[in-house]
Structure 1
């Protein structure tokens, strides 16, 4: 059975992506959690990958790092339907997944993933607003063209949804006002039993990463309620 090495579930958006995809598509794996921001974090991660970052998938003699590479490997090695079957849908799914990997820097920087808290709605700047608008545009186009078979971007859950899942959590955590279509998609991600499993584990973690704690008062603290 392969092993997925990840970081704190409360904060690690990159760890969430392949974990959620493999769980959702029924790929069995063991997991190793290495908490972020501790004196031995880097040393422990380096024992699994020379890149020194999580997530990392270890399958026998094969080591794969970077979220999209792990997802592609899951499709090849375990037969998981990682991408849509339709060629046109698959092309768009790969494009928006790569766009997520390289983009949305304003939103990702201003609004770190934090499943333990919820913050009030406020103006977070023009660059963040543009990222949110672009996400809504992706949701609208994908759902209109290819989403008839289910609640996700291309109907069934794919790697594209896994790539955007952490962004969906941010929109909820920071109380962004969303149009009905985008809100429906975000809710579909957050209501997944697999995501709920991840979030439940996240709220039980004792590790706090100060760099990922926004310096503003939370309107809800789920860690205290858990």
Structure 2
């Protein structure tokens, strides 16, 4: 049960889930979240609500940031201003860093990988970003923004775009941390063949491309994946 100032977790989660349904997307389609996050004791609860609504946690959680750490809380104007910031991130292909989050709350770190809370601007070219405002008196809103403008991506940007796709399937954190074109999915990242198929499917969904059996069989390392993605994007 919520109050004038305390959030109602059930209502917050339902708001997020309904936004996904209305947009016709799955939770795995979310690349990043621009949260309500006000630097209060309730931030950890907001993160928990996101993990439950999306059924994603740890390394599998989307990147998340909050504009309030940069410009403050604009109260009734906060949602509108932060929507503009979300659109700018999609258009320019970056995620701004979170200010004053060097000592991440331990309750948040227990729910999601701390790397999902970027501390500096990161050029990841998100495709879909969820923007939420959870206000006083359980006035909740969640909008889904999608980038409909296709821009050419260089190889480093493609590697950055592959990171959140690969993260849930690798068991070798060191190899993942040093991800490069030379990284082999099976030998370096220790990804099994079944999960390699999952990665191919996720790549198809992320980049809106179709990967045939021939390309699937040769997509055994990051370089091959980048070559295939780049060639498919050029044909669009």
Structure ranking higher on relative contact order (CA contacts 8 Å, 6+ apart): 1
TM-score normalised per structure 2: 0.28
TM-score normalised per structure 1: 0.29
Larger radius of gyration: 2
Q: Is the helix fraction higher in 1 or 2?
A: 1
